[in-house]
Amino acid sequence: MTSTSEGPRRRVLLGAVAALVAVVSIAALASAAEPPRTVIQRTIDEVLAVLRDKSRNQDQRRKDLEVIARDRFDFVTMSKLVMATNWKKLSPEQQTEFVEQFTRFLANDYGARIDRYHQEEVQITGEQPEARGDQTIKTKIVGGDNDGALVDYRLRQKDGNGNWLIIDVVVEGISLVANYRDQFREVANQGGPVIVIEKLKQKNANPSSPVPELEPPKKEAPKKS
């Protein structure tokens, strides 16, 4: 390569190329997947915003949380992981049904739990690469009853250059995927993997914490006369 002594034409050309490179790389940045840390930060911000929005009632907030969860979690991968060797014993229709029921279950459960926690902040404390190209984002809860609790999110990139989605939540060292996997293994050992789907349906028909409208109806004020 020659040095930069070929006059103004070359300089103009260089300038044009530089501008082009800048434009292209900005475009590439915009289209490239958000890095895992940003995904988690955005999720935390959105969840906390929902929880703090007192203008919406509990039921609406829970629906908002479910929308966020469905967007950030890879429920298909999570279903495969929790069912482990039992996954292949399900027919494709059963697999679809499992994903649907498990997603509903987690969304209900997650919504019910998280709705109690609002006076807390969440800090991202670090990140760590994992096997299979996964990435763990470590967070810590600050304030409230769970002050200091450690919550790790494990993310996996969807097919090559796709979005980073959450595939596991590890609270104080306890992996959600591992926990449900052990339970589902026990259930499947007793009556086959299909029973797991049945049990999920039962739970979903009777959510662990019903939305306000479903709470035991208040006794109507005794009618006059």
Partner 1 sequence: MARALVAALLLLLAATATAQESNGGGDVQGAASADSDPAGARSPWDPWERFNRKMFAFNEDVDHFVLEPVATGWDYVVPHRVETCISNFFENLMLPTRFANDLLQLKPWKAYETLWRAVINTTVGLGGFFDPASVWDVYKSDEDFGQTLGYWGTPAGPYLVLPLLGPSNPRDTAGLVVDSIPYLYIPPYTLIPIYASVPGTAVQVVNRRALALETIREERKAAFDWYAAVRSAWTQNRENRVHDQAAAPVKPGATPDEDLYDVDE
Interface ranges with partner 1 (CB under 8 A): 77, 80-81, 84-85, 87-88, 109, 112-113, 116, 130-132, 134, 147-148, 150, 154, 167-168, 172-175, 177-187, 196, 199, 203, 208-209
Q: Which is nearer to partner 1, 71 or 145 (CB)?
A: 145
Cβ of residue 41: shortest distance to partner 1, in angstroms?
A: 21
Q: Which is nearer to partner 1, 23 or 178 (CB)?
A: 178
The amino acid occupying position 129 is P
DSSP string, 135-178: EEEEEEEESSTTTT-EEEEEEEESTTTS-EEEEEEEETTEEHHH
Query: Nearest 5°: phi and psi at 164?
Result: -85, 125
- The CA distance from 8 to 116, in Å, is 66
Cβ of residue 98: shortest distance to partner 1, in angstroms?
A: 13
Q: Which is nearer to partner 1, 98 or 184 (CB)?
A: 184
Query: Nearest 5°: phi and psi at 153?
Result: -115, 130
Q: Which is nearer to partner 1, 159 or 220 (CB)?
A: 159
DSSP state of 123: E
Q: Which is nearer to partner 1, 37 or 199 (CB)?
A: 199
The amino acid occupying position 74 is D
Cβ of residue 200: shortest distance to partner 1, in angstroms?
A: 8
- The CA distance from 25 to 31, in Å, is 10
Cβ of residue 96: shortest distance to partner 1, in angstroms?
A: 16
